[in-house]
Amino acid sequence: MRIPYYESTMHRQIREKREDRKDRIKNDLQKYGGEVLDSAEMQEAFEQTHHRRSTVGEHTIRVAVSSVMICYALRKLNIKVSIPAVVIGALCHDLGMLGRSEKYSSARECSREHPKDSVEVAKELLDEIPEKAEDIIERHMWPIGESEAPNSIEGVIVSVADKYNAVKDIVKGSEINNESDE
Ligand SMILES: [Fe+2]
Ligand SMILES: [Fe+2]
């Protein structure tokens, strides 16, 4: 006999809360980063492998989602954070490494140069970059290599979300392109 699935009130509330949060994140990404999300560069980002088993695009979205979630948590603690700066910083932070194999002669050069190149991409894509976003992008590699440390709370958020999701990319791989799941 099949037992019918019963969703308790508590489980329903948890599910609805999660769905609301997902919608809120989606809306914030679209509201502040729509131009970047709809760009040809972002499309190309989903074609370039990153962190061995993922793509620059998927990594970027993961970093943006985690960063925005950290912002919500900090705001609950009455800590002021700029969501527009975090969204643009997160969405643009790695776009400078598109075409990596032709652009850089080594992984080290890519690691050192792509933050500055990502700032250039952000400037090309947007008429106006939110205050702090340029520094967020330029310093996001911290604490790796010779990167300068973030100089804003928003910069720390994106740097931490970047490292967390670099690990997630390697562990989870691509959810879109399973071929890279070897
Ligand atoms: Fe990066
Ligand atoms: Fe990254």
**What is the CA(181)–ligand 1 centre distance, in A?**
21
Give the separation between CA 163 and CA 33, rounded to whole angstroms: 21
- Which ligand sits closest to the CA of 111? 1
- Which ligand sits closest to the CA of 138? 1
DSSP helix/strand/coil, 40: helix
Domain 20-173 - what CATH class?
A: mainly alpha
pTM: 0.91
| Mean pLDDT value of segment 113-140 | 97
| E strands present in the chain | 49-50, 54-55
**What is the CA(67)–ligand 2 centre distance, in A?**
12
pLDDT tens digits for 14-36?
999 999 999 999 999 999 999 99
**Dihedral of alpha carbons 12, 13, 15, 20, sign:** positive
pLDDT tens digits for 92-112?
999 999 999 999 999 999 999
**What is the CA(2)–ligand 2 centre distance, in A?**
46
Cα pseudo-dihedral 139, 52, 161, 34, rounded to 10: 80
- Which ligand sits closest to the CA of 115? 1
Domains of the chain, by residue range, sit at 20-173
Structure tokens at 150: 């973030």
